[in-house]
Chains A and B, each alone.
Chain A
Amino acid sequence: MAKRGVFDFDSLTPSLQALLPRIDAAVDIVFDQYEAVAETHARTNAPWNDQTGNARGGLFAQHDSTPMVEHSLTIYGTMPYTFWLEVRWSGKYAIIGPTMFEIAPNMAADLAAAVSRAVGK
């Protein structure tokens, strides 16, 4: 009696499973780079005259991530009056919002390039 065997050859699933960590690693590097970029930009370009230097020195950027799920970049100030610097006089002394505007286009472009490299395009 003849026997019949069936072989499945699935190259797609392993490739996709390997792809996500590569993309995540590429994105992770870009976010780490822009953590420094954002913090430097904020501290360098904060438009107020320093009294104590605490407001400028208290500007930070932080990259948080849930691997394979989400990456976020938070720009923040540690002084209690940081919020008012952002808002007072219609944002005359704002730096957090303008920093986001400043870095977002370059960051988006770098992320797109990094993902393209990760997927081999």
Chain B
Amino acid sequence: MRALVRSAIIDDLGLSALGIVDDAAFAVDVDTPVQRPFIQLRWGRNDPGLDRVTRRNLVIWVHDNPGDYTVHIDPIILRLRTLLAGLEGMSNGLGHVVAVEWTGDSEDLSDDGHRTITRTTSFQLVGSGQ
């Protein structure tokens, strides 16, 4: 599931137009990419479901230079909501995505570690092989 979501984000032309263009647009743990905007995926717990199907939380942090949340962050979050919903029914290599539920966006935040402004958008991914 991780690989499917990551590749979907990288391959999306809408996100590319907003500045999320390749692996360099992802932060891992506490590294801070040079590129702005960038995103960070925080995969949460994976809860049992029916048979092989499980429910997993995903929080996507979208970061940008301090200034204006509407330049990149808000449109990226909106695009992610559409993009992830489009993964329903797709194979993730080990199983399939059954449903993608958007569970909300955060308020405007700032990250003093990355020295960015940021918001999160959260999902629950229901499927097998995750």
Contact = CB atoms under 8 A, between A and B. Distances in A.
A84 B61 CA distance: 15
Specify the main secondary structure of chain B where it touches its partner.
strand
Interface residues of A, number: 12
B109 A87 contact: yes
Interface in B33-65: 40, 42, 44-45, 47, 57, 59, 61, 63
A90 B45 contact: no
B112 A91 contact: no
A98 B43 CA distance: 11
A84 B114 contact: no
Interface residues of B, number: 20
A92 B120 CA distance: 13
B59 to A, nearest CB: 7
A43 to B, nearest CB: 18
Contact of A89 (B30, B59, B110): B30
B29 A89 contact: yes
A9 interface: no
Interface of B: 27, 29-30, 40, 42, 44-45, 47, 57, 59, 61, 63, 109-114, 118, 120
6 closest A-B pairs by beta carbon, nearest first, are: A90-B61, A90-B40, A89-B113, A88-B113, A89-B30, A87-B109
